[in-house]
Chains A and B, each alone.
Chain A
Amino acid sequence: MGRGKSPPSHIPWMNAAWKRPMGLRSKIAPYGFLAPALVIIVLFFFIPLVMVFILSFTNLDMTNIGRLEWWNPANWSLENYVKIFTNKFFPKILFNTLMYVSLTLVFFNVGLALIVALITTHINRRVGFAFRVLWLLPRITPVVVYVMMWKAMAGPAPMGIINTYILQPLGIGHGEYLLNTHPWVFVILVNGFIGASFGMILFSSAIEAIPKDYIMASKVDGATTWQTIRYVELPMIKWPLLFVTTYQTLSLLTSFEQILLLTDGGPRLYQTEVWALTAYHRALTSYFGNTQWGYGAAWSVVLVIIGIIMAVIYLRVFKFRELVEEPRIDVL
């Protein structure tokens, strides 16, 4: 049938014998729309996912690339995993990671985010908005520049800001480079300020979305602002709270870019080394002498598994109900 042409209705133009299947083209159209995304996802998620698992069972590294048939099951073994668990620094890395994640999460990504969100939504609207804009800056600043700012703040006197303006006047310390003496404080601060902005945005939207009627009713009932917050607003943002907590936990577990730039796991041996950073160091740098793809992959696999589990949790618990409203056009 001609494209787009419709014969006038008085001509018997539909013979009973002729019946076209409901447009083959319309059946494959959706897949056409999805194709570019599918290609990219297969190339950069599926294939790598399979590969990282396989690689973790091999001892592929820079010395045997090209010679080792890593896809051949004969070359597979659990050697890497054994190496991980028997590694001298394994407990330290594990401890670092857990400490890093929990402290940053509690104090900044959720804690400070919530506080800032609550305060900025209860003061003058424009001022609150201005503050939130300010808090977005760490997230949109190039990470190299951002870390550099912190290094300057932590610098030794008389250059470093914290030393010069806060510690020395109070007589604390000797004006030394704070990254060397207290690296963990800064690791948490640096990541915390970035992380807080995510929660802050989500929490403030959620708080502002609470129907004003509840707030007014609470005030009429005689509650102070703090009581309103505690008994009315906080319970109503339970979902965003839960979401941010779990999402940021995963984020923190797997992020290491800032730590890489700030301390690179140092200054003392493995002092601020977290799990994700170790994986990176082993596989993609010659930090330990030789780039060991297989071994590094094994370290990654642990994170990958955690990532998959948490991602599935999100799916079930958080968003699934929202997403599946059926389309209201059957055709095409």
Chain B
Amino acid sequence: MQITLEKLCKYFGKVKAVDNLDLEIRDREFVALLGPSGCGKTTTLLMIAGIYRPTSGYIRFNGQVVNHLLPKERNIGMVFQSYALYPHMTVFDNIAYPLKLKRTPRREIQKRVRQVADMMGIGELLDRRPGQLSGGQQQRVAVARALVKEPAILLFDEPLSNLDAKLRLRMRGEIKRLQEDLGVTSVYVTHDQVEAMTMASRIAVMNHGVLQAYGTPEQLYDQPDTIFVAGFIGAPPMNFIPVTLVKKEDGYFLEKGQFSIRLPDDKERLAVANQAPEQVIMGIRPEDVQVLPEGGDLQGEVYVIEPLGREDMVTFRFEGEEIRALVPAPFQGKVGDTIGLKLNREKLHLFHPETQRSLLRRGE
């Protein structure tokens, strides 16, 4: 089932939750709606489900407008953050509920419920009540209930938030695999960019109800369109440093006090094409900042060292700014040392300080 959101708007009283959203989700695709709390992603999901009515705009399934359809007519399965299992029914009855409502014959209910339960690995839990299950088990029941009606669309509303870290890791892989096997169009809401990056084929980043970017994980990581996207995707987050763009005879340079590096030619062309102003914001990811025994693009003073196990994240200060770098453990310096840093030229990003947009955009 292909889903199209067309100029979708949702107001709650005077508050604009979703602002002019245009999005297209292909059949069998797994799309993540990513963003911080309150950005409108859950609202969008609930509009697709039919629980919320759009204030304006259209939702289409396979090209046909479905705004007016009730949730039960949309052939959707949904997994909620809180699982929303019915506490007064057994696991079996919970999963069977959608089928019972459709007046499916008893024998077929039995067959399909068992099938789905086995697929989700909860076959032995059918007689228990939700209250007797662990978080992970409850979540599987929720997924089973969503799947049992063989829906055309699967909706997930932060289903892994209530699980502990290890379980979350495992369920991520399982859900992704499940979706690939079943081939059901899925929309997955999350605030965790790792989840989005690992599970989705495309990610829609939202903030304040507005779509910030929509692309594959690689696209969003390598070519973020705005400062927001650049800072949201990737952990630890990208460093942003205001610098001055200076045109010299042999090229364009990014300068701040003592710091000065030359912009590679291809980036220079793009920056000029995008009419880069004098003051720009430079973006560089911590993994692209290298620590050198001597020399380097700039000298930074060690400020904080945070061991992460495999790597250490070190915060340096230079020219009144802070820059974080990921260095292989163990880091040899101590707080207060001055150490040379080198920036990977190919991984530089430039952003306009006012519009917040990338100055290295290709085409428009």
A binds B: yes
> Which positions in A face B, CB cutoff 8 Å?
1, 4-6, 8-9, 12, 14-16, 19-23, 26, 326, 328-332
| Whole-angstrom distance between the Cβ of A11 and the nearest chain B Cβ | 10
Query: Can you name the residue of chain B whose Cβ is closest to the Cβ of A330?
Result: B53
Cβ–Cβ contact A4 & B152, under 8 A: no
Task: Say yes or no: A330-B52 contact (C-beta < 8 A), given A9-B152, A26-B70.
Answer: yes
A12 to B61, CA, bound (A): 10
| B64 / chain A contacts, CB cutoff of 8 Å | 14-16
Cβ–Cβ contact B68 & A331, under 8 A: no
B62 close to chain A: CB less than 8 A: yes
B51 close to chain A: CB less than 8 A: yes
A15 to B61, CA, bound (A): 12
| Whole-angstrom distance between the Cβ of B84 and the nearest chain A Cβ | 13
Cβ–Cβ contact A6 & B75, under 8 A: yes
Interface string of B30-54 (1 = CB under 8 A from A): 0000000000000000000011110
Cβ–Cβ contact A9 & B1, under 8 A: yes
Interface size class of B (residues with CB under 8 A): 20 to 34
| B73 / chain A contacts, CB cutoff of 8 Å | 1, 6
| B68 / chain A contacts, CB cutoff of 8 Å | 19-22
Interface string of B1-22 (1 = CB under 8 A from A): 1000000000011000000000
| B75 / chain A contacts, CB cutoff of 8 Å | 6, 9
Cβ–Cβ contact B101 & A14, under 8 A: no
Cβ–Cβ contact A4 & B70, under 8 A: no
Cβ–Cβ contact B70 & A331, under 8 A: yes
B213 close to chain A: CB less than 8 A: no
B66 close to chain A: CB less than 8 A: yes
Cβ–Cβ contact A331 & B50, under 8 A: yes
8 nearest A-B pairs in the assembled complex, by CB-CB distance: A9-B152, A14-B64, A330-B53, A6-B75, A4-B102, A22-B68, A330-B52, A9-B1
Q: List 7 A-B contacts (CB under 8 A).
A: A4-B101, A8-B152, A14-B66, A19-B65, A22-B53, A326-B12, A331-B71
| B71 / chain A contacts, CB cutoff of 8 Å | 331
Known: A22-B68, A22-B70, A331-B71. 6 other contacts (CB 8 A): A6-B102, A9-B75, A15-B64, A21-B68, A330-B52, A331-B51
A1 to B152, CA, bound (A): 18
| Whole-angstrom distance between the Cβ of A5 and the nearest chain B Cβ | 7
B362 close to chain A: CB less than 8 A: no
> Which positions in B face A, CB cutoff 8 Å?
1, 12-13, 50-53, 61-62, 64-66, 68-73, 75, 101-103, 149-150, 152
| Whole-angstrom distance between the Cβ of B33 and the nearest chain A Cβ | 18
Residue among B50, B73, B101 with max Cβ neighbours from chain A (10 Å) = B73
| Whole-angstrom distance between the Cβ of A198 and the nearest chain B Cβ | 33
A1 to B53, CA, bound (A): 20
A331 to B12, CA, bound (A): 14
| A6 / chain B contacts, CB cutoff of 8 Å | 72-73, 75, 102, 149
| A19 / chain B contacts, CB cutoff of 8 Å | 65, 68
| B1 / chain A contacts, CB cutoff of 8 Å | 9
| A332 / chain B contacts, CB cutoff of 8 Å | 70
| Whole-angstrom distance between the Cβ of B15 and the nearest chain A Cβ | 11
A8 to B68, CA, bound (A): 19
A8 to B73, CA, bound (A): 11
A22 to B52, CA, bound (A): 12
| A26 / chain B contacts, CB cutoff of 8 Å | 70
Query: Can you name the residue of chain B whose Cβ is closest to the Cβ of A26?
Result: B70
| B53 / chain A contacts, CB cutoff of 8 Å | 22, 330-331
| A331 / chain B contacts, CB cutoff of 8 Å | 50-53, 70-71
A6 to B98, CA, bound (A): 11
Task: Say yes or no: A4-B62 contact (C-beta < 8 A), given A331-B53, A332-B70.
Answer: no
| Whole-angstrom distance between the Cβ of B133 and the nearest chain A Cβ | 26
| Whole-angstrom distance between the Cβ of A326 and the nearest chain B Cβ | 7
A12 to B75, CA, bound (A): 13
A15 to B66, CA, bound (A): 11
| Whole-angstrom distance between the Cβ of B106 and the nearest chain A Cβ | 16
A16 to B51, CA, bound (A): 22
| Whole-angstrom distance between the Cβ of B120 and the nearest chain A Cβ | 22
A9 to B73, CA, bound (A): 11
A280 to B290, CA, bound (A): 92
A20 to B70, CA, bound (A): 10
A331 to B72, CA, bound (A): 11
One of B61, B70, B150 near A14 (C-beta < 8 A): B61
